[in-house]
């Protein structure tokens, strides 16, 4: 049984919703009675991941978040369908080519920053007219422990997440008086397709990546996307009504 009737169910937007943390967040929100707009650049994967969700509770929209026109159009479609937007999980992101900054290519730097930072800003700006009109809203960005301490093997990605934490802090200070809260969740090693691909690339295979996690994490295991989704749900809700400008680590102690 959900805590909302269909008429008063809050509306959330999730980007990067076709897999990993975004997919887990979308599923959890639907389970808790939200109506959800799911945005991803891969519309075929998005349709497959959302196949088990009630069509009455979701709308799917293809958009590259680094493209302002596409993203604004997707947000407009979600508002038209559901009539409001109460929450945003700005989750879309890419890891990029990896490696230290000294060997980063200009093309990879531009792509990672465009999606991870500019894309987050574009998505936030697209939902803000609705939230400002409503006088309330909750925005959660997926940042990373790589934005809290240097990650030389993921130099460009780390820089992008440092920048995204700056977006969280500045937006929280700006939008708090308007009743809009802005926070971040910082996953560490989380069992997503991106993590598995990075583990295979850097450690040889997926199991090696999990062994690495067992040796370095205080909690001794890789996290699940659902555990990050639960933090997003909390930040959206009334229990976090006095929380803004905060980064909630869901990382098994990696940032210690």
Catalytic residue positions, numbered: 157
**Number of Cβ within a 10 Å radius of residue 44:** 10
> Tokens in use for 103?
């060997």
| Cα 90 to chain centroid, rounded | 4
The residues, any chain, with a CB within 8 Å of residue 256's CB and separated by 6 or more, are 218
CA distance 37 to 28: 13
Task: Map residue 160 onto helix, strand or coil.
Answer: helix
Q: Identify the H or E element spanning 113.
A: helix 106-113
Closest by Cα among 116, 123, 236 to 180: 236
Taking CB atoms within 8 Å and a gap of at least 24, the contacts of 50-57 are 50/17, 50/26, 53/26, 53/27, 54/30, 56/6, 57/9, 57/30
Give yes or no for a contact between 103 and 147, defined as CB atoms under 8 angstroms apart: no
Q: In 10 A of CB 208, how many CB atoms? A: 13
Q: Which of 210, 229, 211, 219 is nearest to 251 (CA)?
A: 219
């Amino acid at each position: 049984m959900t805590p909302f009737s269909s008429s008063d169910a809050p509306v959330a937007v999730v980007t990067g919703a076709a897999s990993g943390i975004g997919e887990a967040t979308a599923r959890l929100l639907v389970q808790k009675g939200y109506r959800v707009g799911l945005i991803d650049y891969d519309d075929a994967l998005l349709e497959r991941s959302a196949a088990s969700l009630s069509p009455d509770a979701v709308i799917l929209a293809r958009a590259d978040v680094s493209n302002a026109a596409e993203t604004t159009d997707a947000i407009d479609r979600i508002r038209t369908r559901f009539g409001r937007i109460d929450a945003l999980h700005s989750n879309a992101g890419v890891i990029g080519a990896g490696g230290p900054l000294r060997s980063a290519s200009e093309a990879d730097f531009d792509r990672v920053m465009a999606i991870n930072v500019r894309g987050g800003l574009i998505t936030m700006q697209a939902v803000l007219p609705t939230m400002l009109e409503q006088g309330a809203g909750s925005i959660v960005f997926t940042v990373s422990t790589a934005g809290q301490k240097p990650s030389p093997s993921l130099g460009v990605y780390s820089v992008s997440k440092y920048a995204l934490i700056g977006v969280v802090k500045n937006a929280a200070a700006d939008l708090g008086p308007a009743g809009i809260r802005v926070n971040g969740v910082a996953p560490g090693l989380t069992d997503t397709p991106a993590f598995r691909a990075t583990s295979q690339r850097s450690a040889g295979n997926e199991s090696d990546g999990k062994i690495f996690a067992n040796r370095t994490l205080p909690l001794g295991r890789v996290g699940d996307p659902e555990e990050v989704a639960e933090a997003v749900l909390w930040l959206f809700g009334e229990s976090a009504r006095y929380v803004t400008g905060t980064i909630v680590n869901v990382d098994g102690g990696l940032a210690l």
